[in-house]
């Protein structure tokens, strides 16, 4: 962020802070007062603005609505013990955002636009960053194609938006998850590694069907055999098998999770052996029954570290150990949160303190 950008700021006439109950913050429903917008045209980014949060005028013919040229990210800012605000691993989100953009034939967002946009937005909406333990300001960057043209081709124009929403814990209890063996989230050679809108749109129907059966989330399996575990609907998956941290390896069908990468780093620092490899459904279910699988959890920006309590497969429920007895995941989660909230030194340089 060496170059200081010219960002036009138009503040909201009245803040919604006074009518916001910070003890009741359902994920993604309460938005801060402002948003950051940048527009791409003629091969460059410009028209950088902070505006009051609200609807954006657009043509119903824009490419994003018809052909799915839309990508997004998820990241968080934390109010540290010192009172300062930090953004956690934002450079990794930028890296992944631009990887998604390349796959979807969209322009990269410059680092200074991405990071200064976040810094400017949070500076203006600083009071929206919660102070409660376990709470944070969720940041949603999104880019979408805006050419009002019905031909199938990459758009020439794009809009980049940053919006923020204060949030508490994404899940309030251990998860009951279903191993999905009929529907597929991603295919080899596709866009499973990218945070693109269509990846999530195609998952909504099987997720809704699983909810009818009493499940909180799905465990997605490979598209060919449905024998290997890939990821959950909103997070990566990590298991503890015979005292080792085991997670499905990153493939073109698996999102390269930033929380996953963080947990692997912290586990290795703590002397815990880590295996990144293919993980079969059979291995996990048999491991739960014979006691070799002692922990399973979802890891993601929204989910953070959320224990899995039950796994459903072909009508049978496999119950894991009580989350309160799981020392490995709980220990890593504590270290992770202590770094985020500035309670212990950030020796990895993950926090960008604003």
Helices (DSSP H) in the chain: which residue ranges?
63-67, 90-103, 111-124, 197-201, 204-212, 258-269, 281-290, 327-340
Out of 149, 168, 187, a domain closes at: 168
Same domain, 122 and 253: no
Give the count of alpha carbons within 13 A of 200, CB side only: 11
Which two structure tokens, joined as six digits, stand for 206?
């099987």
**pLDDT recorded at residue 234:** 86
Q: What contacts 253, CB < 8 A, 6 or more positions away? A: 185, 186, 187, 188, 190, 192, 193, 222, 223, 230
Query: Within a domain: residue 348?
Result: no
Task: Give per-residue pLDDT as tens, 4-26.
Answer: 899 999 999 999 999 999 988 98
d(CA 32, CA 219) in angstroms, rounded, equals 32
**pLDDT recorded at residue 303:** 82
What does the pLDDT average to over 229-254? Answer: 96
Same domain, 185 and 128: no
What does the pLDDT average to over 143-168? Answer: 96
At residue 1, does pLDDT exceed 80? no
Phi, psi of 118 (to 5 degrees): -65, -50
Query: Within a domain: residue 313?
Result: yes
Query: Within a domain: residue 192?
Result: yes
Same domain, 271 and 220: yes
At residue 283, does pLDDT exceed 70? yes
What does the pLDDT average to over 215-223? Answer: 97
DSSP 193: T
Query: Within a domain: residue 74?
Result: yes
Output b/e per residue, 231-259; b: 16+ Cβ within 10 A: bbbbbbbbbbbeeebbbbebbebbbbbbb
d(CA 309, CA 325) in angstroms, rounded, equals 12
What does the pLDDT average to over 147-174? Answer: 93
Same domain, 224 and 141: no
Query: Within a domain: residue 218?
Result: yes
> Which residues span the domain enclosing 28?
8-168
What does the pLDDT average to over 288-299? Answer: 97
Q: What percentage of the chain exceeds 70 in pLDDT?
A: 99
Same domain, 18 and 158: yes
Same domain, 302 and 222: yes
Same domain, 108 and 224: no
**pLDDT recorded at residue 302:** 85
Q: Residue 277 belongs to what H/E stretch?
A: strand 274-277
Give yes or no for a contact between 125 and 285, defined as CB atoms under 8 angstroms apart. no
**pLDDT recorded at residue 2:** 59
Same domain, 268 and 335: yes
Q: How many domains does the chain have?
A: 2
d(CA 230, CA 221) in angstroms, rounded, equals 5
Same domain, 185 and 321: yes
Query: Within a domain: residue 242?
Result: yes
d(CA 282, CA 105) in angstroms, rounded, equals 38
What does the pLDDT average to over 269-273? Answer: 97
* CATH label of the domain that carries residue 297: 3.20.10.10
Out of 142, 168, 194, a domain closes at: 168
Among the listed residues 36, 132, 124, 24, the one whose alpha carbon sits nearest the alpha carbon of residue 78:
132
Going by DSSP bridges, is the β-strand pair 175-179/304-313 parallel, antiparallel, or unpaired?
parallel
Which two structure tokens, joined as six digits, stand for 272?
């815990």
Same domain, 136 and 251: no
Length of the chain: 354
Q: What contacts 290, CB < 8 A, 6 or more positions away? A: none
Query: Within a domain: residue 322?
Result: yes
* CATH label of the domain that carries residue 57: 3.30.470.10
DSSP 105: T
Query: Within a domain: residue 236?
Result: yes
- 169 confidence band (pLDDT: 50, 70, 90): confident
Give yes or no for a contact between 161 and 35, defined as CB atoms under 8 angstroms apart. yes
d(CA 350, CA 15) in angstroms, rounded, equals 31
Same domain, 19 and 65: yes
d(CA 63, CA 55) in angstroms, rounded, equals 18
Out of 168, 187, 211, a domain closes at: 168
Same domain, 38 and 108: yes
């Amino acid at each position: 962020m060496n170059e200081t950008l010219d960002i036009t700021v138009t503040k909201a006439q009245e803040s919604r802070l006074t009518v916001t109950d910070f003890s009741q913050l359902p994920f993604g429903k309460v938005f801060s007062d402002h948003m950051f917008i940048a527009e791409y045209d003629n091969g460059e980014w410009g028209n950088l603005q902070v505006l009051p949060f609200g609807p954006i005028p657009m043509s119903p013919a824009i490419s994003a609505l018809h052909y799915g040229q839309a990508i997004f990210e998820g990241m968080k800012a934390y109010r540290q013990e010192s009172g300062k605000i930090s953004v956690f691993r934002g450079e990794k989100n930028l890296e992944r955002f631009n990887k998604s953009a390349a796959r979807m034939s969209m322009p990269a967002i410059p680092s200074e636009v991405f990071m200064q946009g976040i810094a400017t937005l949070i500076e203006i909406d600083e009071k929206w960053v919660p102070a409660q333990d376990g709470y944070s300001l969720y940041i949603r960057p999104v880019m979408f194609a805006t050419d009002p043209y019905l031909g199938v081709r990459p758009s020439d124009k794009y809009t980049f938006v940053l919006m923020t929403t204060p949030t508490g814990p994404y899940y309030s209890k251990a998860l009951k998850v279903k191993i999905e063996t009929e529907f597929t989230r991603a295919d080899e050679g596709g866009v499973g590694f990218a945070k693109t809108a269509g990846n999530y749109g195609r998952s909504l129907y099987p997720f809704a069907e699983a909810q009818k059966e009493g499940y909180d989330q799905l465990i997605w399996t490979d598209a060919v055999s449905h024998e290997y575990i890939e990821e959950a609907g909103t997070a990566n998956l990590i298991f503890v098998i015979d005292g080792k941290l085991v997670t499905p390896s990153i493939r073109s069908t698996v999102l390269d999770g930033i929380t996953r990468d963080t947990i692997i780093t912290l586990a290795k620092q703590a002397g815990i052996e880590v295996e990144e490899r293919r993980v079969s459904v059979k291995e996990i279910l048999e491991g739960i029954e014979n006691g070799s699988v002692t922990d399973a959890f979802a890891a993601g920006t929204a989910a953070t570290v959320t224990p899995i309590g039950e796994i459903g497969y072909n009508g049978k429920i496999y119950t894991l150990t009580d989350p309160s007895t799981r020392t490995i995941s709980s220990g890593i989660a504590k270290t992770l949160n202590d770094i985020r909230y500035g309670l212990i030194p950030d020796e990895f340089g993950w926090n960008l303190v604003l």
